[in-house]
């Protein structure tokens, strides 16, 4: 028992050390540009629309097949015929479609968050090249500039 505990502790400590080497606390997520945020938002919106469309169609199809089978079973009971059991595939189709449609909600939220990020204000420090002075002695002069952008 103690050997098993030592092996598990060793594996866990190696995993923690490997994770700390890969992800240092100084790592930052790079900021995307406005075009990249808008492109990401558009792709996520398209993905969410596809998810909700396919999920809704699968849910509607599953419910249709369940209703069709129940109607046929009802009609067979009038004539006292034996009815076959309900296939589980109909239920799986309806439940899977509902889950797929519900999975589109976080994608819609992420899309709207990226669209909102594309429209936020940004502040940056750039190094600009000074080309406007027509003097022969100043060929390439660089100066720091502060940039403040508000997107609407």
Give the mean pLDDT of the chain: 77
Structure token digits, residue 42 = 């558009």
Q: pLDDT tens for residues 21-49? A: 444 444 445 567 778 888 999 999 999 99
**What is this structure's pTM?**
0.58
Q: pLDDT tens for residues 100-145? A: 999 999 999 999 998 888 887 667 777 777 666 666 665 666 777 7
- Separation CA 134–CA 61 (nearest Å): 73
**C-beta atoms surrounding 31 within 10 Å:** 10
Task: Please tell me the least confidently modeled range out of 1-5, 9-13, 31-35, 48-52.
Answer: 9-13
Nearest to 90 by CA among 107, 75, 68, 71: 68
147 CB-contact burial (10 Å; exposed 0-12 / middle 13-18 / buried 19+): exposed
User: Quick one: average pLDDT of 39-68?
Assistant: 94
93 CB-contact burial (10 Å; exposed 0-12 / middle 13-18 / buried 19+): buried
User: Quick one: average pLDDT of 90-96?
Assistant: 94
DSSP 46-95: HHHHHHHHHHHHHHHHHHHHHHHHHHHHHHHHHTTPPPPPPPHHHHHHHH
Higher pLDDT, residue 116 or 4: 116
pLDDT value at position 35? 84
Structure token digits, residue 112 = 């709207």
User: Quick one: average pLDDT of 95-99?
Assistant: 95
């Amino acid at each position: 028992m103690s050997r098993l505990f030592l092996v598990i502790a060793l594996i866990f400590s190696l995993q923690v050390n490997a994770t700390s080497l890969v992800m240092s606390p100084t790592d930052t997520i790079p900021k995307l540009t406005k075009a990249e945020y808008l492109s990401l938002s558009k792709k996520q919106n398209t993905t969410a629309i596809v998810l909700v469309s396919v999920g809704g169609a699968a849910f509607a199809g599953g419910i249709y097949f369940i209703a069709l089978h129940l109607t046929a079973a009802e009609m067979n009971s009038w004539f006292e015929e034996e009815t076959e059991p309900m296939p589980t595939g109909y239920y799986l189709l309806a439940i899977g479609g509902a889950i797929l449609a519900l999975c589109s909600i976080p994608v819609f939220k992420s899309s709207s968050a990226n669209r909102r990020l594309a429209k936020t204000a940004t502040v940056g420090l750039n190094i600009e090249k000074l080309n406007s002075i027509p003097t022969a002695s100043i060929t390439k002069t660089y100066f720091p500039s502060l940039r403040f952008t508000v997107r609407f």
